[in-house]
């Protein structure tokens, strides 16, 4: 594995949580309805993502580990992206920075597995698996001590993984998620679990938010649904009476992609300006759906940043929709 590839890999996979994000997104792209994430020691020694998705044909396993090979895009259409993945970088990167094993089975065929370590790809071998895919990453950054040094405590990395899984779970209420900590061996300890939600968009989201952000949030949240200039905003935002002090729980999703964007903090602050003191933070989970051409998700390889072509439109929509909902609820 060349140094260049390792550096590129380090950009895609900054820490255990970014590996978890890539693997869960792959499972979602594969149409999984249940996803289990097992970790040990903050993800440093083990990250294993099990899904019941479409699987990878045995003959395609080596290809899945080839840089810039993706089954999701033909390469001519990088701006019009509907799936999470599109770069064909995650699996090769993970194979460069850890010991990776992919086991998979497509309906009607036998299961097969492939191993990669330090970028060295092994041969495809028969394996045992009922369906779907299991991707196991052991000893992340074992070959890149410089990266290892930058990892935080097991506790902090575990927290970051839980946060990542919860964000993805909010974005996909119909999919069941389990996060298990296997540190110390044995059966492991389930630290987060959300069963698949059914019902319409708002019912499913409300149920999922109750599981992720807590029943108290769900019971004190205003339903938001507004469309302007081809951009739809929907989700839930807390009543001022619920909103917390120091703890910020503000989540933004753009085309179901969890994103971090300071714009949200500013828009929420502006919307709640007259009903909440400045030291308190309104909780909210808001989804922006728009034409993929209106956002640029290529800002960073880890893909948690987006750039709106016109940030003012999204911000204006959030502020006015929230103010409207607050006023309608008597605030």
Query: 69 vs 313, which CB is nearer to ligand ADP?
Result: 69
Residue 34 engages ligand ADP in binding (rule: CB under 6 A): no
Find, among 266, 244, 170, the residue nearest to 213 by Cα.
170
Which range of residues in 38-46, 69-77, 213-221, 229-237 is near ligand ADP by CB under 6 A?
A: 69-77
Show Cβ contacts of residue 248 under 8 Å, excluding neighbours closer than 6 positions. Answer: 265, 281, 283
Interface segment toward Mg ion; rule CB under 5 A; list 84-92, 132-140, 175-183, 300-308: 84-92
Instruction: Return the number of the residue (89 or 181) whose C-beta is nearest ligand ADP.
Output: 89
CB nearer Mg ion, residue 55 or residue 235: 55
Q: How far, in Å, CA of 18 to CA of 40, rounded?
A: 15
Helix (H) or strand (E) holding 249: none
CA distance 323 to 120: 55
Q: Which of 87, 105, 115, 303: binder of ligand ADP (CB under 6 A)?
A: 87
Of residues 86, 141, 217, 272, which one binds ligand ADP by CB under 6 A? 86
Residue 323 near residue 271 (C-beta atoms within 8 A): yes
Residue of 9, 39, 56, 283 interacting with ligand ADP (CB under 6 A):
56
Shortest gap between Cβ of 307 and Mg ion (angstroms)? 21
Q: Say how many residues touch ligand ADP, by CB under 6 A.
A: 21
Instruction: Give the residue, chosen from 18, 19, 26, 319, that forms a contact with Mg ion under the rule CB under 5 A.
Output: 26
Helix axes 154-171, 201-212, angle to 10 degrees: 160
Segment interacting with ligand ADP (CB under 6 A) among 21-29, 199-207, 255-263, 310-318: 21-29
**Does position 51 bind ligand ADP by CB under 6 A?**
yes
- How far apart are alpha carbons 282 and 166 in whole angstroms? 18
Residues 6+ apart with CB under 8 A from 298: 78, 79
Q: According to CB under 5 A, which one of 90, 175, 276, 294 is a site residue for Mg ion?
A: 90
Alpha-carbon dihedral angle through residues 232, 241, 250, 24, given to the nearest 10 degrees:
-90
In the complex, residue closest to ligand ADP by CB: 85
- Min dist CB 72 to Mg ion, Å, is 8
Residue 197 found at the interface with ligand ADP (CB under 6 A): no
- 100's contact among Mg ion, ligand ADP, none, with CB below 5 to 8 A by partner kind, is none
- Round to whole Å and give the CA distance between 193 and 216: 18
Q: What is the dihedral of CA 207, 213, 215, 218, to 10 degrees?
A: -60
- CA atoms of 222 and 330, how far apart (whole Å): 11
Residue with smaller CB distance to ligand ADP, 9 or 264: 9
Q: Are 241 and 216 in contact (CB under 8 A)?
A: no
* Residues 140, 44 contacting (CB under 8 angstroms): yes
Residues in touch with ligand ADP (CB under 6 A): 22, 26-27, 30, 51, 53-56, 64, 70-72, 85-91, 133
**Interface positions with Mg ion (CB under 5 A):** 26, 85, 90
């Amino acid at each position: 594995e060349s140094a260049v590839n390792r550096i590129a890999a380090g950009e895609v996979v900054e820490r255990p949580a970014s590996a978890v994000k890539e693997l869960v997104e792959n499972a979602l792209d594969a149409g999984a309805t249940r996803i289990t994430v097992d970790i040990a020691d903050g993800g440093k020694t083990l990250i294993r993502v099990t899904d019941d998705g479409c699987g990878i044909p045995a003959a395609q396993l080596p290809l899945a580990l080839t840089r810039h090979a993706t089954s999701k895009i033909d390469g001519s259409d990088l701006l019009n992206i509907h799936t999470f993945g599109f770069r064909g970088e995650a699996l090769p990167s993970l194979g460069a920075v850890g010991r990776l094993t992919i086991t998979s089975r497509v309906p009607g065929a036998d299961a097969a597995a492939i191993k990669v370590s330090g970028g060295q790809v092994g041969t495809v071998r028969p394996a045992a698996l009922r369906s779907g895919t299991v991707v196991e990453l052991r000893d992340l950054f074992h070959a890149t001590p410089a990266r290892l040094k930058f990892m935080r405590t097991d506790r902090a990395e575990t927290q970051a993984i839980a946060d990542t899984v919860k964000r993805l779970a909010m974005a996909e209420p119909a999919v069941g998620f389990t996060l298990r900590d296997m540190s110390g061996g044995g059966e492991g300890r389930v630290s987060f679990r959300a069963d698949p939600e059914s019902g319409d968009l708002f019912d499913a989201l409300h149920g999922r938010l109750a599981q992720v952000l807590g029943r108290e949030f769900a019971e004190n949240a205003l339903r938001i649904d507004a469309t302007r200039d081809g951009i739809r905003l929907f989700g839930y935002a807390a009543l001022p009476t619920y909103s917390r002090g120091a703890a910020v729980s503000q989540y933004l999703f753009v085309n179901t992609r969890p994103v971090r964007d300071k714009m949200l903090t500013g828009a929420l602050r502006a919307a709640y300006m007259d009903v909440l003191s400045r030291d308190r933070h309104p909780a909210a989970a808001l989804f922006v759906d728009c034409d993929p051409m209106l956002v640029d998700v290529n800002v960073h390889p880890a893909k948690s940043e987006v750039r709106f072509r016109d940030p003012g439109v999204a911000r204006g929509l959030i502020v006015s929709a929230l103010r409207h909902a607050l006023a309608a609820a008597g605030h």
